[in-house]
Amino acid sequence: MDRTAGPKRRGPAGGLSSNSRSLSANSLTAGGASPKPSPASSRRRRQPPRPADYKLQVIIIGSRGVGKTSLMERFTDDTFSEACKSTVGVDFKIKTVELRGKKIRLQIWDTAGQERFNSITSAYYRSAKGIVLVYDITKKETFEDVPKWMKMIDKYASEDAELLLVGNKLDCEVDRTISRQQGEKFALQVTGMRFCEASAKDNYNVSEIFLKLVDDILNKMHDVPRHELSNSILSLQPEPEIPPELRPHVRCC
Ligand SMILES: Nc1nc2c(ncn2[C@@H]2O[C@H](COP(=O)(O)OP(=O)(O)OP(=O)(O)O)[C@@H](O)[C@H]2O)c(=O)[nH]1
């Protein structure tokens, strides 16, 4: 499969809300003096949480130290650590998001950037409905590695997987070595690939990355009525000016 040729896939928009996996109000015990709960509260307590309408898998790939784990943890737990702990093999976290009335259980696979784990991580590409390919805007070599990661995608991922290229560490603007235009230009060459810059540290565009990906994945699924998805507009934080020649083409989240 070669994604580097052919027409661009259409980019849907998405208006959405999200919520982390949390204790349901239904799990709280009823208070009050009576040891016997009222029929209404007893009904509430027994009610199981609404099951997810969809279960989706998303994988995060990219070179060592670009911030894959940080993006995942920022999205799932709203935490950030300055410590550099290399992922060994793969790790995952789950977050449930709500998108236009649909409950989606998102399983996010965080892969090791070190090449020696490629034989392990490649096994997780096939089932991913969405792929986030990350580079570090301050480290040229991580951007130069992007074609290598594209080869992994071409080899192991489903052709239907939604792709998003992310230039992370936008908070380190002074150390930037890869311009936004370079990232956009690369994404333009790949069929249907979106592009955005983000900062796991500053929590900039992080939830947008995952929610946009989910939105795109849902758009592809037949049983979601088109009219439910057509009005979605993802609220983005303002981004730097895009040169006019690139604006109409780039699918930016
Ligand atoms: N300034 C800044 N630092 C970041 C950002 N994201 C991650 N980092 C730092 O970059 C280092 C590597 O982050 P990780 O999330 O472990 O990177 P990774 O891509 O998961 O690394 P591997 O597991 O080795 O492939 C850590 O010290 C993070 O604190 C960011 O947005 N801004």
- Report ipTM (2 d.p.): 0.99
Please give the tally of structural domains in the chain: 1
Q: What residue has token string 């057509």? A: 230
Domain range for 67 is: 54-221
Ligand 1, atom 26, residue with closest C-alpha: 84
Is 126 part of a structural domain of the chain? yes
Is 201 part of a structural domain of the chain? yes
What is the Cα–Cα distance from 61 to 79, expressed in whole angstroms?
20
Which pLDDT band, with edges at 50, 70 and 90, does 222 fall under?
low
| Pocket around ligand 1 at a 6 A CB cut-off | 64-70, 81-87, 112-113, 168-169, 171-172, 199-201
**Phi, psi for residue 62 in degrees, rounded to 5:** 140, 170
Is 234 part of a structural domain of the chain? no
What is the Cα–Cα distance from 10 to 13, expressed in whole angstroms?
10
Is 105 part of a structural domain of the chain? yes
Ligand 1, atom 14, residue with closest C-alpha: 67
Residue 241 has pLDDT above 70, yes or no: no
Is 31 part of a structural domain of the chain? no
Is 32 part of a structural domain of the chain? no
Mean pLDDT of the chain: 78
pLDDT given at position 158: 95
Q: Which atom of ligand 1 is nearest to the CA of 62?
A: 19
- Cα four-point dihedral sign 179, 180, 185, 189: positive
Which pLDDT band, with edges at 50, 70 and 90, does 123 fall under?
very high
Q: Which of 59, 61, 69 to mutate to test the pocket of ligand 1 (most atoms within 8 A of CB)?
A: 69
> Which span out of 46-55, 114-123, 219-228 was modeled with the highest average pLDDT?
114-123
Domain CATH number, residue 120: 3.40.50.300
Is 227 part of a structural domain of the chain? no
